[in-house]
């Protein structure tokens, strides 16, 4: 009898157990999403009486999506979310990559101090600075209810983590010789970064686009504090319109939630192949 057979058998059993555990966790995690999608096609009475059933008495209907689309002014609110998300993510990527490049290539004391301060700021919860921040920008400067203020705050809260990710990737994966060769050929520092360094940051860039697009797109707390005018509402705030103090339009709320997450799912599918590579290259090599 081969001594390796018991070991191989135990490995197979362990593999089966891990697979089963993974499936259970996946089902448990996806169950709320399944309920949202299922109930978005059902009438409110059917959702209350039998949330787990297929269709209910009135069957599946698209009326929820049509009504929610009109009541929340979906195209206008979608435009607000797109503008805020695209501008925020674009600024985060550009400023963070440039700062990380300077931190890696220039061995200045100020760079080390600033990089350490950014790392320390990552552990500070947003709730700690939430009230003072709103008081300063709202009471002192009167800058609330502007998209620019929200974009600026997203940049401030996100740049530290992005710099950390870019810093690790540049330090471990981009050789200095490429930049020196470009400078010998007469390329300026600006051109060297955007034509030599930045294209090589694609894995980390794609990962950060996914992470921050999800974060900014789904953020409710910060926009609800900054954007008080209905014309500036983002999708998460607009979906709150279907949930009141004395009643909930659950059918419309479910449909609105489904419409809200579709753009993010499309973005994730388009960039998912870069996520693992970017996280590993950016975090492990730091």
What are the tens digits of pLDDT across the range 183-195? 888 888 888 899 8
| The pLDDT of residue 2 | 54
| The pLDDT of residue 4 | 61
Residue ranges of the chain whose pLDDT lies below 50: 1, 245-246, 282-286
| The pLDDT of residue 252 | 87
Instruction: Please state the pTM of the whole predicted model.
Output: 0.82
DSSP letter string, the chain: --THHHHHHHHHHHHHHHHHHHHHHHHHHHHHHHHHHHHTTS-HHHHHH-TTSSS-TT---SHHHHHHHHHTTHHHHHHHHHHHHHHHHHHHHHHHHHHHHHHHH---HHHHHHHHHHHHHTTS-HHHHHHHHHIIIIIIS---S-HHHHHHHHHHHHHHHHHHHHHHHHHHHS-HHHHHHHHHTT--HHHHIIIIIHHHTHHHHHHHHHHHHHHHHH--HHHHHH--SGGG--HHHHHGGGB-SS-B-HHHHHHHHHHHHHHHHHHHHHHGGGHHHHHHHHHTT-
The topology under which CATH files domain 65-283 is MetI-like fold (1.10.3720)
Domain ranges of the chain: 4-39, 65-283
| The pLDDT of residue 116 | 92
What are the tens digits of pLDDT across the range 209-262? 888 988 999 899 889 888 888 889 999 998 888 876 445 778 888 888 899 888
């Amino acid at each position: 009898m081969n001594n390796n057979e018991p070991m191989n058998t135990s490995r197979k059993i362990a593999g089966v157990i891990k697979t089963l555990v993974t499936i259970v966790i996946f089902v448990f995690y996806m169950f709320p999403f399944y309920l949202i999608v299922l109930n978005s096609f059902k009438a409110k009475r059917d959702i209350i009486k039998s949330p787990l059933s297929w269709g209910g008495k009135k069957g599946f209907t698209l009326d929820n999506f049509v009504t929610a689309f009109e009541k929340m002014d979906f195209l206008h609110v979608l435009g607000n979310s797109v503008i805020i998300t695209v501008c925020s993510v674009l600024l985060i990527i550009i400023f963070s990559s440039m700062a990380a490049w300077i931190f890696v290539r220039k061995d200045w004391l100020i760079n080390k101090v600033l990089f350490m301060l950014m790392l320390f700021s990552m552990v500070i919860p947003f709730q700690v600075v939430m009230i003072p921040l709103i008081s300063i920008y709202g009471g002192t400067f009167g800058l609330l209810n502007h998209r620019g203020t929200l974009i600026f705050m997203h940049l401030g809260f996100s740049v530290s983590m992005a710099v950390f990710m870019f810093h690790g990737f540049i330090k471990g994966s981009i050789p200095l010789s490429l930049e020196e060769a470009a400078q010998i050929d007469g390329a300026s520092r600006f051109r060297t970064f955007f034509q030599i360094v930045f294209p090589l940051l694609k894995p980390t860039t794609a990962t950060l686009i996914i992470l921050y697009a999800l974060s900014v797109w789904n953020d409710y707390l910060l926009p609800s504090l900054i954007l008080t005018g209905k014309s500036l509402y983002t999708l998460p705030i607009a979906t709150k319109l279907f949930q009141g103090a004395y009643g909930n339009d659950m059918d419309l709320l479910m449909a609105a939630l489904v419409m809200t997450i579709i753009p993010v799912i499309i973005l994730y599918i388009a960039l998912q192949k870069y996520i693992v590579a970017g996280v590993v290259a950016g975090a492990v090599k730091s």
